[in-house]
């Protein structure tokens, strides 16, 4: 039996900076998952992924990641994606600079 489709977001890595980015409904790449387009239709999600993958000059390794609707917008449902929202794992780089 086929697994039921669950909501997704399109995610990738910014080509020059390497930061995790998510695709918004208005076709921008954002570093805030809460701004991402939450995709609830499987066919539309596959189309958005294909569109993202065609933008190889901006991003690398686009894929669909499981997400859920949250108070501010989409939220990750898997540890890996939650980890990616926090930026690079080495201290004082990327989003972690803002913690000081």
pLDDT tens digits, residue range 58-87? 999 999 999 999 999 999 999 999 989 987
Position 86 scores a pLDDT of: 85
Task: Quote the pTM value.
Answer: 0.85
Residue 89 has pLDDT above 70, yes or no: no
Position 2 scores a pLDDT of: 79
Region 3-16 average pLDDT: 95
Q: For residue 19, with 0-12 CB atoms within 10 Å meaning exposed, 13-18 middle and 19 or more buried, which class applies?
A: middle
Residues 6+ apart with CB under 8 A from 9: 22, 23, 33, 36, 37, 38, 39, 64, 65, 67, 74
* Confidence label for 17 from pLDDT (cuts 50, 70 and 90): confident
């Amino acid at each position: 039996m086929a697994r039921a489709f669950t909501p997704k977001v399109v995610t990738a890595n910014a080509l020059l900076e390497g930061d995790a980015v998510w695709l918004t409904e208005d076709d921008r790449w954002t570093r805030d998952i809460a701004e991402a387009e939450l995709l609830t239709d499987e066919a539309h999600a596959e189309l958005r992924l294909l569109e993202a993958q065609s933008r190889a000059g901006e991003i690398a390794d686009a894929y669909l990641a499981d997400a859920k609707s949250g108070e501010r917008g989409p939220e990750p449902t898997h540890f890996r994606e939650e980890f990616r929202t926090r930026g690079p794992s080495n201290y004082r780089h990327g989003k972690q600079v803002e913690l000081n």
